[in-house]
């Protein structure tokens, strides 16, 4: 049986290969997705959004975050136009890897205001303990106070809360009771239901042993008990463990009032589609890079066209698996590179200098996979920009 091969465009460039050579790569025919949501959605879908750095600021990038606020907010408006929510000041925005709490709060304030101006577009924002240096955290009460401070600041500017994992709690928490004490105190005070965020240590090694144990089965028992015990204060839980079956198992154990938001950037298509026992909503970093395709796929799912959903979203999964490959914490580089290729910013510069975190070979493969999935919105622009980046890395196309 002959395999259907997508047609090729006339665009080509030289890309590096694993053996140290170059190959002529010819782009596939482009695929166009709507710039605004078509129809409706039957899943709640958040894109964790990146920040656009200001490359003209006179700062030391490893030490100080300089943000281009106009382009950063413009990207969020792009996400909202597509019917997606914004998960603000999260891991994808380089929280804890270049973006400090002070800058995060300013980002949250601007994003919440922009969402209101957009007709109360959906935005939840990350509250953690990252202004408390881990070495300065001596007791669980220190952790609680740090959470309380960030929650109060976000609520003051009108924001909804995503309760992020705490590096300080990961250091101090020794048991399920320790975690229950912190979450009980914090959840009892929030104004509106929050999203609980369980971020695996592949995303942040400092979170190893979260929920008081390295045993993920026991950790899930603790998390489910805490969440279900506070179901009235929990909108949902985002799980980022890159483990499809574990997410499904947890989803089936949650109180019916609590949503499961997949954070699985390897298996999101199947988890969102769901099965006869339920489905996951979405809060994904990869949706930053594939927002138009994600919006259109989700609209097809809502229209009852599951085949159309998989036809669009399925080809994005290899790209996502590549962007989020180990060391997974460096995935932000691929997210911002996609934003550069697709014209959402005019440079490939990141806060924290993180544009250097992935190799030239990694970026070249990203380009191939994005093209294969039809995710290059303007292939001519993307090709030109890919050539520019390659030239700065010593490869003339």
pLDDT value at position 97? Answer: 92
Angle at 41 between CA 267 and CA 121, to 5 degrees: 105
Give CA–CA dist 371/373, Å, rounded.
5
pLDDT value at position 2? Answer: 36
- Condensed to tens digits (0 to 9), the pLDDT of residues 316-363 reads 999 999 999 999 999 999 999 999 999 999 999 999 999 999 999 999
Element (H, E) at 29: none
397 CB-contact burial (10 Å; exposed 0-12 / middle 13-18 / buried 19+)? middle
pLDDT value at position 226? Answer: 98
Q: Set out the domains of the chain in order of their start, with CATH numbers.
A: 38-359 (3.20.20.70)
Contacts from 264-269 at CB under 8 Å and sequence distance 24+?
264/239, 264/240, 265/240, 265/320, 265/321, 265/323, 265/324, 265/331, 266/242, 266/317, 266/320, 266/321, 266/324, 267/242, 267/317, 268/313, 268/317, 268/320, 269/309, 269/310, 269/313, 269/314, 269/316, 269/317
pLDDT value at position 167? Answer: 97
The list of the chain residues with pLDDT below 50 reads: 1-5
pLDDT value at position 6? Answer: 53
Q: Hey, which residues does 234 pair with through a beta bridge? A: 194
pLDDT value at position 8? Answer: 63
């Amino acid at each position: 049986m002959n395999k259907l091969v997508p047609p090729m465009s006339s665009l080509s460039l030289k890309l590096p290969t694993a053996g140290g050579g170059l190959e002529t790569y010819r782009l596939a025919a482009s695929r166009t997705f709507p710039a605004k949501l078509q129809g409706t959605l039957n899943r709640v879908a958040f894109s964790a959004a990146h920040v656009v750095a200001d490359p003209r600021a006179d700062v030391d990038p490893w030490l100080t975050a300089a943000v281009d606020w106009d382009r950063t907010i413009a990207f969020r408006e792009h996400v909202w136009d597509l019917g997606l929510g914004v998960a603000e000041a999260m891991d994808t925005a380089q929280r804890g890897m270049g973006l400090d709490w002070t800058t995060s709060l300013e980002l949250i304030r601007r994003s919440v205001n922009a969402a209101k101006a957009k007709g109360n577009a959906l935005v939840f924002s990350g509250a953690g303990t990252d202004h408390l240096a881990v070495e300065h955290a001596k007791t669980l009460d220190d952790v609680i106070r740090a959470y309380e401070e960030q929650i109060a600041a976000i609520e003051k500017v009108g924001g909804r809360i995503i309760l992020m994992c705490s590096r300080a709690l990961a250091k101090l928490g020794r048991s399920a009771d320790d975690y229950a004490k912190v979450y009980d105190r914090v959840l009892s005070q929030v104004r509106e239901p929050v999203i609980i965020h369980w971020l695996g240590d592949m995303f942040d090694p400092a979170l190893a042993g979260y929920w008081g144990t390295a045993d993920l089965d026991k950790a899930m028992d603790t998390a489910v008990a805490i969440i279900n015990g506070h179901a009235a204060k929990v909108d949902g839980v985002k799980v980022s463990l890159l483990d499809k079956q574990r997410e499904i198992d947890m989803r089936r154990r949650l109180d019916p009032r609590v949503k499961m938001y997949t954070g699985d950037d390897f298996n999101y298509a199947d988890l969102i589609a769901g099965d006869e026992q339920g489905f996951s909503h979405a809060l994904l970093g990869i949706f930053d890079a594939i927002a138009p395709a994600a919006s259109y796929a989700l609209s097809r799912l809502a229209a009852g066209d599951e085949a159309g959903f998989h036809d669009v979203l399925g080809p994005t999964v290899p790209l996502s698996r590549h962007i989020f490959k180990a060391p997974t914490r460096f995935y932000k580089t691929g997210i911002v590179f996609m934003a550069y290729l697709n014209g959402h910013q005019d440079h490939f510069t990141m806060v924290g200098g993180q544009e250097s975190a992935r190799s030239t070979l990694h970026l070249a493969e990203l380009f191939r996979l994005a093209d294969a999935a039809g995710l290059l919105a303007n292939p001519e622009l993307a090709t030109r920009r890919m050539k520019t980046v390659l030239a700065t890395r010593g490869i003339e196309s």
